Structure 1
Amino acid sequence: MEVSTTAEAIQPAEMPRPQLVRLVLVLGAMTAFGAMSIDMYLPAFPSIAHDLHVPLGTIQLTISAFLFGSAVGQLFYGPLADRLGRRKPLLIGLALYVASAVGCASVHSAEALLVWRVIMAIGGGAGMVISRAVVRDLYDTAEAARMFSLLMLVMGAAPILAPMLGGQLLLITGWRGIFMFLGLFGLASFFAAALFLPDSLPPERRIKRNFTQMVSIYGHLLHNRSYLRYAIALGCVAGANFSYISGAPFFFMEQHGLSPQHFSLFFGVNAFGLIGASQVNRRLLRHFSPQRITKTAFIINAAAALLLTATVLTGTGGFVLHVILLFTSLCMTGLLYPNITALAMAPFDRAAGSASALLGTIQYTIGASAGALVALLNNGTSLPMTATVAACGVAGSIAVTGFIRSSSAHIK
């Protein structure tokens, strides 16, 4: 089966600047739902546990619940977006997100919070799936990679700003106010999408199949080796980042003795490095192909993580060397995210929604598994974090350098 690739690509130069700015802001907000929903309430964990009379570990499970909901929920939006267009499923998902945020703010038990967090993830998944599909609808591969780099300006700021904003809201409104703010964020995104985001998939390009036939597209996607290797590679990038997030507190505060305030500073510096690299990517794309940038970035990412693991394992190198190697490895993910996403989505036109949904599910599944692995392998050192980051880098590099042969099979 072959995918139609005849849709005209719209170049950013042809789009009026105000329209481009609105598009970046709206789509950037959609891609930030995951980070906002996870990072903003982290400072409130002790307060939530105290108010709901449960151990802190029970509240930590709400992150796993959200990741599970995101991985599964995204699968529903792909077929819907390919059959109904982009706007309707997006607005339905955003409405569900708003309702679930209010539900989280109103709970009186940890069990109810877990349920509402899964529902919140399912609602927020619409933004993550459809934002990628919209970019694929409008742009060719290289321009899509540039647009994904632009979106990372918004998406990348979320992990930096969300915990700080959550901490301030905790002082003013309590932890329930954090979820109400997330509800307002979802409501603002709903109206922004309704007003400023036209449907990028016109009726004549929609797939006219029943739901069972639509879901069968996932089987064809999984048999498309080119798509699958990029999806696995993107999962490896997410795995490296989730492993870092899981192990960073120990790495900085326990191993190197940083205070919580200094930890926040270095965490923010690494996030800024990722964002900066994503913007350098826009310039690199003027001279190099997304494939070449991806292969080179993965090699640097894996090499830096392997060197970091070796220094941790042997007890050599000091804090400065460790931070430089970690920073280098993480910066490469700022190049990898936009390019791999664009390459994975490139062959798919009418099935872009399904391709985006499965891409997100694989990304979250591998990423969450890697983060959980760091916790399970905890041995009182930072070796589980550095080794997992390195393993993800090596696996991703293998995937994109051709050890998994690509296939010419596409989806119509």
Structure 2
Amino acid sequence: MSIINDGDRSAIATAKGAGEAKPTNPRGRARLALILGSLSAFGALTIDMYLPAMPDMAHQLHTSAPLVQMTLTAFVVGLALFQVIVGPLSDAWGRRRPLLAGMAVYLAGSLWCALAPSVGWLIAGRILQSLGAAAGTVLARAVVRDLFSGTAMTRFFSTLMVVNGVAPVVAPVMGGQLLTLTTWRAVFLVLAAVGAVLLLAVVFALPESLPGANRAPAHPRATLRTFRTLATDPRYMRYVLAAALMFAAAFAYISGSSFVLQDAYGLTAQQFGLVFGLNGLGIVLLGQVGGMLVGRVADEHTLLRVSLTVATLGSASVLSCAVFHLPLPLLLTCLFLVMSMLGIVLANATSLALGGHGSAAGAASSLQGLLQFLVGGLAASAMSLPGQVTAVSMGTTMVVCAAAALAVLTVRRA
């Protein structure tokens, strides 16, 4: 049973007109942005907070760095696959019930990870975590599509980038500081607490956004038809693939930077957390700039093309720094440039992809999430194939993925 105040009810009330649907109460809108932003940042938070601890985890669990990195890959692949289940279910059942179940599973998975006696048990716990995180990630996007359309949707996605950017700012710093006081297991206890808070937020402050009359039948054949329609829509797939490849470029940095910057460049866990957090700040700032520019200076497609061009040039510069052993400050500047583009790319690509599929927002969001995290996970695995993640392998993966994203966006249907 949920307790929904008048501000939240007003936030869910929509006024459809001129291609937009927007919450009418500012306080309700801010509350909605905080909750949905936190849910959409669940995946990033669960990844970023334990990155500084990965070298220590390999030592304490008596295992290798590639196996510890598998805990990251397992989470990302699970996050991708489970979204395909959660999204269509939410189109049939509404958004709240899958969210509540997901938050409960995430809480259990986090506690499992905290108690894991070996890397195998830790991987299993990460898969359980990914099931819960998938619900938050995919359904936050679906709720936004339920409530907004057009430029208003793009701007609200840009607003969510504030919370999405704060997660990588706070998470690695917090993870690094926790390591000065206790072991890596405390990181998962903190994640369990975050899961509990968001579970309560969904229970008491997030109304259902999908009316019963707008729900799709919960039938496997109908779900497959919906996915087939999405997969054969060239406009949808162009923007989804562009977002997925850009995310893969960023994920190469996310998954490899702890080993590159700490092992190869000698940063401490605390210094790495600060560097990682600074890149998250770039996501926040540039995401908000993109929200201010869209509809005023340029449209979504133009902003997406420009930001992918900048990301490709920045990734090429990262690779150059690695190959020619250029100074660390220059490498960090190039990494900041690439990561700062992520907020603009995801906000605009997601809005363009979901804009034409309001009746199947859950399925459309889930297919986007599947491709985004699956491509990201594959990129991270490919980067570690030589057996050791290096600055060169990280830079190579980043530039290949960013350039491919730009190429996908540029190619027109014949």
TM-score, reference length from structure 1: 0.87
Distance change (3 Å), C-alpha of 1:178 and 1:328: closer
CA shift in 2, pair 1:243/1:178, >3 Å:
closer
- Written as runs of structure 1 = structure 2, the 5 A alignment for 1:126-141 is 126-141=135-150
Query: Is 1:39 paired with 2:48?
Result: yes
How far off its partner does 1:68 sit?
Answer: 1.6
Which residue, out of 276, 298, 302, partners 2:312? Answer: 302
What are the residue-to-residue correspondences of 1:65-214 with 2, within 5 Å?
A: 65-170=74-179, 174-214=183-223
Letter in 2 for 1:326: L
- In structure 2, relative to structure 1, the CA distance for the partners of 1:344 and 1:270 (3 Å cut) is same
Q: Bigger shift: 359-368 or 162-171?
A: 162-171
Distance in 1 of aligned mates of 2:186 and 2:371: 32
What is aligned with 2:413? 405
Kindly tell me: are residues 109 and 260 of structure 1, through their superposed partners in 2, closer, same or farther at Cα, counting changes over 3 Å? Answer: closer
Equivalent position SS for 1:350:
helix
Q: Specify every segment of 5 or more residues in structure 1 that has no aligned partner in the other structure, as ranges.
A: 1-5, 407-412
Q: Once the 2 structures are TM-superposed, how far is the Cα of residue 56 of structure 1 from its aligned partner?
A: 4.9
Q: Which residue of 1 aligns with 2:67?
A: 58
Aligned residues: 398
Deviations 1:295-333 (A, max 9, x none): 1111222123234434654x3865554444333232222
Q: 1:232 aligns with which of 241, 246, 249?
A: 241
State which of 31, 34, 39 in structure 2 corresponds to 1:25: 34
Once the two structures are superposed, residues 196-252 of structure 1 have per-residue CA deviations (whole angstroms, 9 ceiling, x without a partner) of 111111011111251332233212211111111111111111111011224434654
Tell me if structure 1 keeps the 8 A contact 2:111–2:189: yes
Mapped pair 1:287 → 2:288: no
| CA–CA separation in structure 1 for the residues paired with 2:262 and 2:171 | 21
Q: Which residue type is aligned with residue 71 of structure 1?
A: A
Identify the match of residue 384 of structure 1 among 393, 405, 410: 393
State the shift of 1:359 in Å.
0.3
Name the aligned partner's letter for residue 186 of structure 1: G
Deviations 1:93-152 (A, max 9, x none): 111111222222333343322222111101110000000001111111321121111111
Q: Residues of 1 paired with 2:116 and 2:261: CA distance?
A: 34
Of the structure 1 ranges 371-380 and 30-39, higher mean CA displacement relative to structure 2 is found in 371-380
Structure 1 partner of 2:11: none
Structure 1 residues 269, 87: CA separation in 2 closer, same or farther (over 3 Å shift)? same
Query: For residues 283 and 131 of structure 2, what CA distance do their matches in structure 1 show?
Result: 27
> What is the CA–CA distance in structure 1 between the aligned matches of 2:325 and 2:133, rounded to whole Å?
44
Structure 1 position 346 matched with structure 2 position 355: yes
- Percent of matched pairs sharing the same residue: 35
* Partner of residue 410, structure 1: none
- Superposed, 1:325-340 pairs within 5 Å as 325-340=334-349
2:98 and 2:135 in contact (8 A); partners too: yes
The CA distance in 1 between the partners of 2:330 and 2:240, in whole Å, is: 32
Counterpart contact for 2:66–2:388, Cα < 8 Å: no
- The 1:183–1:157 alpha-carbon spacing in structure 2 relative to 1, beyond 3 Å, is same
Give 3-state SS (helix, strand or coil) of 1:201's partner: coil
Unaligned runs of 5+ in 2: 1-14
Give TM-score scaled by structure 2 length: 0.87
The equivalent position to 1:248 in structure 2, one of 240, 251, 257, is 257
